[in-house]
Structure 1
Amino acid sequence: MDSKRKLAATIGAAMAPVLALTLPTGSASAHGWVNAPASRQEQCARGTVSCGAITWEPQSVEGPKGLRSCSGGNSRFAELDDDNKGWKVSDVSRTTTFTWKFTARHRTSNYEYFVDGTKVATINGNGQQPPETVSHQVNLGSATGRHKVLAVWNIADTANAFYACIDVNIR
């Protein structure tokens, strides 16, 4: 009986890597995006604008910290960088509330907000894990008219950040 157990264990050990590589995988349980006002990935998820893979993964715009692109440098989501795609513009006040929705809540270093590339706010995350939603009231400065806001969620326990662009008309 011992030889049968050894044989079964050997076969199982040999098959494990094959099974791991061939079984279907689920999507990553990643992470977070701005859903109000509607970010570009939120517009894709809602079907407001026709998009590719980001339609099903609005939470997945992750890249190295320090980037200033809507796609987070992720080529799968490059269409988020296209300013001419027909993004819907949200009317906002100079002080506006941005709401993040999280599907995996990483400890947070900080959140940064940029208007057309100029930083207008940094909000400390204190290394804490956020709740399912977080809202920040952000002063967008003296800008008026149509602008692009880049919201960045810098993670405390990885070298990455999550990126979301929001097209706004500041009144």
Structure 2
Amino acid sequence: MNRKRKLAMSVGAGLAPLLVMTLPVSPASAHGYIDSPPSRQAQCAAGTVQCGPIKWEPQSVEGPKGLSSCSGGNSQFADLDDDAKGWKVTPVGSTTTFNWTLTARHSTSTWQYFVGGRKVAEFNDGGAQPPAHVSHQVNFGGITGKQKVLAVWNIADTANAFYVCVDVNIGG
């Protein structure tokens, strides 16, 4: 090898780790979560409750359809499943509007809302691409008191869904 080529390779090998450490990191492909009333993800992102990596990825709680966990089965987001974590509870009426912020607008089959494992509302989008902000008015019927609402955004063209939990006090 000639001397110039050896020098260039040495400099390149020395600079490569520095470049990797200083280049900006692009965020993960994002999706969506409920920001009002404040979901567990929103509380983590705002620093209201101390959480792990979900603080930086509130929109990324994705898992296979049919789950009933706040974390969507993601162990890295297990903080969301901890009911004793000190989540702030929002007082709401018997009918409440849930506002989603979507950062990747996937074709949607349905939006579902569950309380205590029972489906209380479903909105069918029939495969349409939603806007960046989606709102659903959910009627809780006769359910009252402190409840954990599991909201599920079912994607139309994959086997996955996005999961969000919101702690509310219905009628409180």
**TM range, normalised to the smaller chain?**
0.7 to 0.9
| Pair 1:32-2:37 in alignment | no
SS at 2:27 equivalent:
coil
Correspondence 1:51 to 2:51: yes
3-state SS of 1:169 partner: strand
Q: Secondary structure at the match of 1:58?
A: coil
Correspondence for 2:103: 103
- Structure-2 separation of matches of 1:58 and 1:116: 23
Instruction: Name the structure 2 match of 1:129.
Output: 129
CA distance in 2, matches of 1:117, 1:34: 19
Amino acid at match of 1:67: L
* Structure-2 residue corresponding to 1:142: 142
The Cα shift of 1:125 comes to 1.2
Identity %: 68
Q: Secondary structure at the match of 2:114?
A: strand
Aligned residue pairs total 150
2:5 counterpart residue number: none
Match of 2:8 in 1: none
| Structure 1: unaligned runs, 5 residues or longer | 1-21
For 1:45 and 1:115, locate their aligned partners in 2 and report how far apart those are by CA, in whole Å.
23
Displacement of 1:140? 1.2
**C-alpha separation between the residues in 1 aligned to 2:65 and 2:78?**
17
Q: TM-score, normalised by structure 2?
A: 0.84
Distance in 2 separating the partners of 1:131 and 1:93: 26
Q: Secondary structure at the match of 2:126?
A: coil
Once the two structures are superposed, what CA deviation does each residue of 1:121-146 show, in whole Å capped at 9, x if it has no partner? 11001211110100000011211110
CA RMSD of aligned residues (A): 1.3
- What is the match of residue 168 of structure 1? 168
Map Cα deviations across residues 64-89 of structure 1 (whole Å, 9 max, x no partner). 00000000000000110000000000
**Aligned twin of 1:112:** 112
Query: 5+ unaligned residues in a row in structure 2: which ranges?
Result: 1-19
Q: Which 4+ residue blocks in structure 1 deviate beyond 6 angstroms?
A: none
